[in-house]
Amino acid sequence: MSLPFSFEVYPPRKPELQAALHATIHALAESGPAFITVTYGANGSSRDASLDCLRFIRENTSIEPLAHLTCVGTTKAEITDIVDSFIDAGIHQFLALRGDPPEGSDVSSDYLGELSSATELVELIHARGGGRVTVAVAAFPNGHPQSSTPQQDIDVLLAKQAAGAEFALTQLFFEADDYLTFAAAARTAGVTMPIIPGIMPVTSLGRLRRIVEITGERMPADLEVALESAASPAEARAIGTEHAVALCRALVAGGAPSLHLYAFNEHETVLAVLAQLGEPA
């Protein structure tokens, strides 16, 4: 595939899953991604596990790791220490996120901590890393849950860009027009940094319904019906892969600069998507 692409993985939730994740990382790395991102839990709950995973990518592959980082629920001193520890470990690419409130927290409470936005986190990472770091941010084609208008999402993205963000990775969506409409509006408003669509191949009905519940995204009715009618897990996987391939083709045709694939810590599906994208439609 000629268009750049990248992957997201998350730290293993149990120690016994670490070997499988390492095998997946090796398989993903062999496909030649621009980078592999590693997620980070609320309040830094997976800090050590995230850093271990980032180090593994850096030390055992030729691919650059990119660290998710959140500032929710932390002091400025705490997040500064975290940024410094990642930079000291050789991690120079970051995805700056405000982060979600801890489970059970009231969003109206003072859970945010001393840094209240991803924009402030972008500034802090650049201040600590100088010219050594690259900072990405999140974009929300269908709106951040706490945004009041679509324009507010674009205004926030402009602020992140002004703070030093070099590119954006979108949250998931299921229709190409969601991304294309958002990207066009952002460009018109003055966003010049690349906006990379995040694609999540969904290969089971249960996972689809769980994702929609968590994210608040609109249920893709065609995909739901198709997965519901699947006669086997293998058929469901094929359906989910085909849906992701069609979405990626529409995004590429619409001018997406790259593709970011959520791997769910397994490589078969996302590599199948890339393989099919390399074939004639």
Both tokens of 100, joined, read: 């979600």
User: Rounded CA gap, 111 and 239, in Å?
Assistant: 40
Beta partners for residue 9, in sequence order: 38
User: Rounded CA gap, 198 and 174, in Å?
Assistant: 10
Q: How far is the CA of 215 from the CAs of 25, 43, 80, 172, 200, in angstroms? A: 26, 19, 29, 9, 12
Is 120 a known active-site residue? no
User: Which helix (H) or strand (E) segment is 69 a member of?
Assistant: strand 65-70
Of the candidates 8, 64, 120, 123, the residue annotated as catalytic is 8
Q: Choose among 2, 1, 5: nearest CA to 258.
A: 5
Q: How far is the CA of 129 from the CAs of 23, 85, 165, 201, 209, in angstroms? A: 31, 11, 13, 34, 40
Task: Yes or no: say if 42 and 70 are a contact pair by the CB < 8 Å rule.
Answer: yes
Enumerate the active-site residues.
Answer: 8
